[in-house]
Amino acid sequence: MALPPLDLYDVRSLLSDEERAIQSAVADFTDTRVLPIIGDCFAEGRFPRELVPELARLGLFGATLPEAYGGGGLGPVSYGLICQELERGDSGVRSFASVQSSLCMYPIFAYGSDAQRRRWLPGMAAGEIIGCFGLTEAHGGSDPANMQTRARKAGGDWVLDGAKMWITNGTLADVAVVWAQTDDGVQGFLVESAMEGFAAHDIRNKMSLRASVTSALYLDGVRVPEANRLAGVRGLKGALGCLTEARYGITWGAIGAATACLDEALGYSKERVLFGRPVAATQSAQVKLADWARRLTAAQLLSLHLGRLKEAGTMHPTQVSLAKWNNVRMALDVARGARDLLGGAGITTDYCPIRHALNLESVITYEGTETVHQLAVGRELTGINAFAG
Ligand code: TGC
Ligand code: FAD
């Protein structure tokens, strides 16, 4: 019997019934709601905001959080499969869900008070409150410890001054999780977009993640009440802990993007007849397709095992770094190669590879660049910190 070309090791058989059901439901959403519009959204530079209530109805925001806060109580593999199927549609749609879930709902749940959880999480799960995550600053995102944004105590409140750059969902957000330097180290604050002194502007002329909103945030003497401080964590580890959650999801998302490109390349090369035979019948095309399937299969197994480690509570951030590096590099190479195999047709958004390839240029940069993750693995192997000045 022929093997399924996009799942050569039958990884789906290693999933629980619940995980398979979730994957199928999100796959159906991507097929029916995302794919018919996403090429146009990308071309127009438009985030498909109309999908947000539907994503919420499917339970895709905060899916791993307890039901008491509007979450779905799902496990990490289910969350990974959600990211995979959304990014099979577009990295921008997955980004929206990652930021909402891993970078905003997660820190409120993990570091916030019960009052903060109750105030924010149910509305965020329902898609009625949109969040963004402000860590990066214009002078160097790889080195967040060199943060210039400051929060100083003023009576019972805090006053924030500074700016954040490259912030997904920035102008859509009702609340921004902003990380700022204080006299007691880096702390997180829930800055509401209506607060005086807060402003957000979109970054224009992006050639990547065009179906996603990316913004700059400005904080000019924004007075934030103590009730909006995330008191459960202090130091950069709070922000880095959120990144571990989001990076874990991205390892799965990259599999979705690569799957879409391999699927497109297989279909096209079997139909395209050149020199009297399908392109797929040539040895060079088969070597490329086989190589992409090999790397995709390895990525699928890597993320699934990472998910099982996360489920067991033993996942280490360096393991996430290795998988983010491996899987996003794999997806970018597959997308670029598939674009080439489609010839001229490959440069239009009628086919998905160029859109995924362009998106993946962001995915390989955000949440820690490829180099940052390589150096994190190098540090683990050698015990020598190459980030130290
Ligand atoms: P270091 O100063 O040594 O450590 C600080 C504390 O943090 C702990 N820690 C982590 N905790 C959880 N997860 C991680 N990945 C962690 N990495 C470090 C560490 O144990 C320490 O704790 P403690 O208790 O000793 O204080 O920091 P470092 O040397 O480990 O970090 C250096 C480096 C370069 C790895 C880090 O700064 C880094 O990851 N830089 C990249 C920054 C980045 O990824 N920014 C992403 C911004 S958000 C984004 O891109 C969103 S895109 C979203 C989308 O659209 O999908
Ligand atoms: P830099 O840090 O300036 O890096 C420049 C180059 O130097 C890179 O090639 C890097 O790999 C390399 N480099 C870095 N360190 C070393 C080293 N030690 N040795 C050798 N080379 C090194 N941030 C948020 O906080 N929230 C968001 O929601 C968010 N969304 C984003 C959405 C998009 C579309 C993009 C593009 C970015 C987003 N980011 C977000 C920011 C992202 O995390 C940063 O772009 C990323 O961390 C890299 O920072 P930088 O762009 O300043 O590059």
Per-residue model confidence as pLDDT tens for the chain (389 residues): 899 999 999 999 999 999 999 999 999 999 999 999 999 999 999 999 999 999 999 999 999 999 999 999 999 999 999 999 999 999 999 999 999 999 999 999 999 999 999 999 999 999 999 999 999 999 999 999 999 999 999 999 999 999 999 999 999 999 999 999 999 999 999 999 999 999 999 999 999 999 999 999 999 999 999 999 999 999 999 999 999 999 999 999 999 999 999 999 999 999 999 999 999 999 999 999 999 999 999 999 999 999 999 999 999 999 999 999 999 999 999 999 999 999 999 999 999 999 999 999 999 999 999 999 999 999 999 999 999 87
Distance (Å, rounded) from C-alpha 340 to C-alpha 333?
11
Q: What is the DSSP letter of 32?
A: I
- Residue 216 pairs with which residues in a beta bridge? 201
CB 142 near ligand 2, within 6 Å: yes
Pocket of ligand 1 (CB under 6 A): 95, 98-99, 133, 135-136, 141-142, 144-145, 168, 235-237, 240-241, 243-244, 246, 317, 366-368, 372, 376, 387
Contact 111, 120 (CB under 8 A): no
| Pairing of the two strands 185-192 and 157-168 | unpaired
Residues annotated as catalytic (active site), given as ranges: 367
Contact 148, 134 (CB under 8 A): no
- Residue 182 pairs with which residues in a beta bridge? 185
State the residue for tokens 């102008």: 171
| Predicted pLDDT at 158 | 98
- Ligand closest to 177 (CA) is 2
Mutate which of 243, 321, 384 for ligand 1? The one with the most ligand atoms within 8 Å of its CB, which is 243
Distance (Å, rounded) from C-alpha 209 to C-alpha 222?
30
| Pairing of the two strands 157-168 and 214-225 | antiparallel
Residues of the chain with CATH 2.40.110.10: 131-234
| Predicted pLDDT at 388 | 87
Helix (H, G, I), strand (E, B) or coil at 34: helix
What count of other Cβ atoms lies within 10 Å of the Cβ of residue 60? 29
Instruction: Provide the whole-model pTM.
Output: 0.98
Instruction: Indicate if the alpha-carbon torsion angle 100, 299, 266, 43 is positive or negative.
Output: positive
Give the number of the atom of ligand 1 that is nearest the alpha carbon of residue 249: 56
CB 66 near ligand 2, within 6 Å: no
In single-letter form, the type of residue at position 18 comes to E
Going from the Cα of 268 to the center of ligand 2, the distance in angstroms, rounded, reads 35
- Cα torsion 373, 251, 247, 336 to 10°: value is 70
Expressed in angstroms, the distance from the first to the final Cα of the chain is 57
Contact 102, 366 (CB under 8 A): no
Give the number of the atom of ligand 2 that is nearest the alpha carbon of residue 99: 28
Superfamily assignment of 11-125 in CATH? Acyl-CoA dehydrogenase/oxidase, N-terminal domain (1.10.540.10)
Residues in the chain: 389
Domain 131-234 grouped into CATH 3.30.1520.10:
no
CB 387 near ligand 2, within 6 Å: yes
State the residue for tokens 């797929």: 280
Query: Which helix (H) or strand (E) is 162 found in, with range?
Result: strand 157-168
Residues of the chain with CATH 1.20.140.10: 237-382
What count of other Cβ atoms lies within 10 Å of the Cβ of residue 196? 8
CB 303 near ligand 2, within 6 Å: no
Measured CA distances, 310 to 64, 107, 229, 248 (Å): 12, 17, 28, 9
- Please list the alpha-helical segments (H only) found in the chain: 17-29, 35-44, 52-57, 76-89, 91-98, 106-111, 114-125, 237-271, 283-312, 317-341, 353-363, 370-382
Residues of the chain with CATH 1.10.540.10: 11-125
- Cα torsion 251, 365, 243, 236 to 10°: value is 150
- Ligand closest to 131 (CA) is 2
Going from the Cα of 240 to the center of ligand 1, the distance in angstroms, rounded, reads 4
CATH number of 237-382: 1.20.140.10
Give the number of the atom of ligand 1 that is nearest the alpha carbon of residue 247: 56
Between helix 283-312 and helix 76-89 the angle, nearest 10°, is: 150
Measured CA distances, 376 to 170, 306, 379, 383 (Å): 28, 17, 5, 10
State the residue for tokens 């995915």: 363
Going from the Cα of 105 to the center of ligand 1, the distance in angstroms, rounded, reads 18
Rg (CA), the chain: 21
CB 133 near ligand 2, within 6 Å: yes
Contact 156, 226 (CB under 8 A): yes
Going from the Cα of 147 to the center of ligand 1, the distance in angstroms, rounded, reads 13
